[in-house]
Structure formats: structure tokens, C-alpha cells
């Protein structure tokens, strides 16, 4: 069961990171929302690593595979390109898509994992 839960979380994080990478190609690159999301996904990846270490998974290969996937997600999170100086792009007047936010919606994709 623990393997399944971890696998699902890894699946979710992979999709979140794909969306966030695309956001770095938009004005979100200079957005405080993306800066926060980068920290958040880094923490999620770190927690997944800790959960994996604590998990009772007897198959060493399965554990190593999951660890390698977590490592690559962790690296992808670290490599998200965020500007040095960020400000909310709605406040800056550049983001005019309404009240919601792409970055928050991307992070919320993790909630699909029940």
C-alpha cells in the first residue's frame, strides 16, 4: 500500500512540475506565486524522500526506482527558473486573467491524489 501511495504522489508531482515549468516560460517567472510554488514542490519532493526511507518496502529494487524518480523530481524542482526579484504579477498589472492563478491551480493538481 505504501508503495502505491508514494507512486501516486510521484505521479502527481511530475504533472505539477510539468505545468510549473511551462509557467516559468510565461510572466509567472517573475511572480512571487511561482517563487512560493518552487519552495513548496521542493518540500513535497523532500518529504516524499523521507516517507520512502521510512516506508516498509522490502523490495530493494522498487525502493531504488522510487528514490531515483524522487531525485529527478527534486532536481526538476530546484531547476525551476524563477527571477531573482519577484512580485505578484497581478499587483504589477501584468497578469490580467482574473482572480485565480495558474501556479496555485498547478499545485492543486496534487489534490487529485486521494
Partner 1 sequence: MVKARCGRILGEDIYIEEGDTTTLYFVNQLRAYQVMLAALEALDQDVCHDGCSLPTTVNKVIKRLSKLKNDLEVSNVVAEKKESLLSKIDNFLAEANRLPQDTSQTCRKSAGECIIGSDCFATGALNLINVVTEPKAQKI
Task: Write out the residues near partner 1 by the rule CB under 8 A.
Answer: 4, 7-8, 11-12, 14-15, 17-19, 21-23, 25-27, 29, 93-102, 105-106, 109, 112-114
CB of 105 to partner 1, least distance (A): 5
Minimum CB separation from partner 1 for residue 111, in Å? 8
- Closest CB 31 distance from partner 1, rounded Å: 11
CB of 41 to partner 1, least distance (A): 13
CB of 86 or CB of 102, closer to partner 1: 102
Of 22 and 87, which CB lies nearer to partner 1 in the complex structure? 22
What is the 3-class SS of the chain, one letter each residue? CHHHHHHHHHHHHHHHHHHHHHHHCCHHHHCHHHHHHHHHHHHHHHHHHHHHHHCCCCCHHHHHHHHHHHHHHHHHHHCCCCCCCCCCCCCCCCCCCCCCCHHHHHHHHHHHCC
Looking at beta carbons only, is 29 or 63 nearer to partner 1?
Answer: 29
All three cell numbers of 59, joined, read: 523490495
For partner 1, the closer of residues 6 and 52 by Cβ is 6
Amino acid at each position: 500500500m505504501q508503495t502505491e501511495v508514494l507512486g501516486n504522489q510521484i505521479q502527481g508531482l511530475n504533472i505539477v512540475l510539468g505545468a510549473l515549468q511551462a509557467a516559468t516560460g510565461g510572466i509567472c517567472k517573475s511572480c512571487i506565486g511561482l517563487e512560493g510554488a518552487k519552495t513548496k514542490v521542493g518540500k513535497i519532493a523532500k518529504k516524499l524522500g523521507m516517507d520512502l526511507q521510512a516506508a516498509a518496502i522490502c523490495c530493494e529494487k522498487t525502493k531504488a526506482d522510487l528514490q531515483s524518480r524522487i531525485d529527478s523530481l527534486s532536481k526538476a524542482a530546484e531547476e525551476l527558473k524563477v527571477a531573482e526579484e519577484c512580485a505578484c504579477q497581478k499587483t504589477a498589472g501584468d497578469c490580467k486573467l482574473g482572480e485565480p492563478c495558474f501556479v496555485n491551480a498547478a499545485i492543486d493538481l496534487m489534490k487529485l491524489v486521494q
